[in-house]
Amino acid sequence: MSNGYEENRLDFLKKLGLTLGVSLIPSVRLSAVIIDDKETIRLAPAMIEFMDRYEQWMDEYIEVIRKFKRNADDMANNANMIRLCDVAKEWQPALVNYMKDTDFARYYMIATERMTKEI
């Protein structure tokens, strides 16, 4: 049984996860139709490198979310979540810049879909 505090904290974390990927791109308009296959999208080498690092980060973050769902009071896991959020903040300027590219934005949205489902 969860109390109101835990529900509010989980809502906050859900919003945090979503804002990491979505609110960083307020000036970008994304098409309602997103290609389902990342392989068909051509990206510049720097964008590919960024997404490789981001997807590795995302794997770590998804595991942190899973652990949080099992035990929200795990201090080591919560510290890891904060560390991962700090890393994402460091990437914000590059992400905002890359999101100006329509192909990158579509690739990013496809890649982050699995994290959004987990959250």
- pLDDT tens for 28-84 read 444 333 445 556 688 889 999 999 999 999 999 999 999 999 999 999 999 999 999
Q: Which among 70, 68, 71, 94 is positioned nearest to 81, based on CA atoms?
A: 68
Per-residue pLDDT, 118: 67
Q: Which among 22, 32, 18 is positioned nearest to 117, based on CA atoms?
A: 18
Q: Over 60: is that where the pLDDT of 107 sits? A: yes
Q: Which among 35, 38, 30, 23 is positioned nearest to 95, based on CA atoms?
A: 23
Cα(93)–Cα(28) distance, rounded to whole angstroms? 14
Cα(29)–Cα(21) distance, rounded to whole angstroms? 14
- For residue 27, the enclosing domain spans 4-118
The chain-wide mean pLDDT, for the chain, equals: 76
Q: Which among 112, 1, 117 is positioned nearest to 58, based on CA atoms?
A: 112
User: In a 10 Å sphere around its CB, with 0-12 CB exposed, 13-18 middle and 19+ buried, how is residue 78 labelled?
Assistant: middle
| pTM more than 0.85 | no
- Count of the separate structural domains present in the chain: 1
Q: What number of other Cβ atoms are within 10 A of residue 106's Cβ?
A: 20
Half-sphere exposure of 29 (CA within 13 A, CB side): 0
Higher pLDDT, residue 118 or 20: 118
